[in-house]
Amino acid sequence: MNWIKPDWPVAKNIHAAVTLRSGGVSHSPFDSLNPADHVNDQAKNVQANRKIIMDMLQLPSEPKWLQQVHGSQVVKADQMETMEQADASYTDQANCICAILTADCLPILLATNDGTKIAAIHGGWRSLLTDIISNTVNKLDSTNIIAWLGPAIGVDRFEVGAEIKQHFVGKSAKFATAFKATKFKKAGQNKYLADIYQLARIELTTLGITQIYGGNFCTVTEQQRFFSYRRDGETGRMATLIWRD
């Protein structure tokens, strides 16, 4: 199977999937199921891969792709007429597909427990720092939300500088638990291993969301399954999709 089905106890009318890197037509370094049109892959291959994804997941409509910019903007997917700059989308409409593209950043799916509202978030560290999660949660306007954390860079591979830790800890002391000092210094600077899953969990929990699932992947080490920008540089993207009946 060329996709992951999230394991989370959502309402029966909620559907979600994360595509893997195999099963498409793109050539190296985008091999092979790359649906991203901004990574220098051939346009005809990207379109073919999107058609493959549509067919294999039996999607009810074209996904609402975003121009992701590592920001904090959230858009209502069913009101999009063209591709918009945003890093999250949400909808309360049936058969409208919220879509996120990632290759190390954290895809986050949200759904209300009653199955009426859904969202997809592109959780890079910049977006997490600038409140992409809380901005999206506010759009759902519910106190009963369940979350799933998709494939992202693992805690042992996400090395960051001290300034990134300082930014998060400056926002809230709670985030300190998501950083672990490395044994080595580079150019005299302290480095840390950041747990992007933990950063998201802390934010979600602070917002009152305690039903949190997933978060046990590593895009960098699982080379056969996932694209990874940090590992390969020029590469493709996985698509994380969510829709409702």
Residue-by-residue DSSP string for 87-105: SEEEE-STT--EEEEESSS
**Is the distance from CB of 71 to CB of 136 less than 8 angstroms?**
no
| Sign of torsion over alpha carbons 174, 147, 117, 99 | positive
Residue 203 has pLDDT above 80, yes or no: yes
pTM for this entry: 0.96
Whether the pLDDT of residue 187 is over 70: the answer is no
User: For residue 141, how many C-alpha atoms fall within 13 Å in the half-sphere facing its CB?
Assistant: 4
User: In this predicted model, what pLDDT tens digit does every residue of 24-70 receive, in sequence order?
Assistant: 999 999 999 999 999 999 999 999 999 999 999 999 999 999 999 99
Contacts by residues 56-61 (CB-CB < 8 Å, ≥ 24 positions apart): 56/2, 56/3, 56/23, 57/3, 57/17, 57/241, 59/97, 59/241, 59/243, 60/95, 60/97, 60/243, 61/95, 61/96, 61/97, 61/243
Residues 6+ apart with CB under 8 A from 88: 73, 74, 75, 100, 119, 120, 121, 122, 127, 132, 135, 136
pLDDT tens string 90-127: 999 999 999 999 999 999 999 999 999 999 999 999 99
155-169: pLDDT as tens digits = 999 999 999 999 999
Q: What is the pLDDT of residue 148?
A: 98
* pLDDT exceeds 90 at position 221: yes
- The DSSP secondary-structure symbol of 121 reads E
Average pLDDT over residues 212-229: 96
CATH class of the domain at 3-152+208-244: alpha beta
138: left (phi over 0), alpha (psi -120 to 50) or beta: alpha
Contact 244, 94 (CB under 8 A): yes
Strand bridging mode 74-76 / 88-91: parallel
Q: Is the pLDDT of residue 183 over 80?
A: no
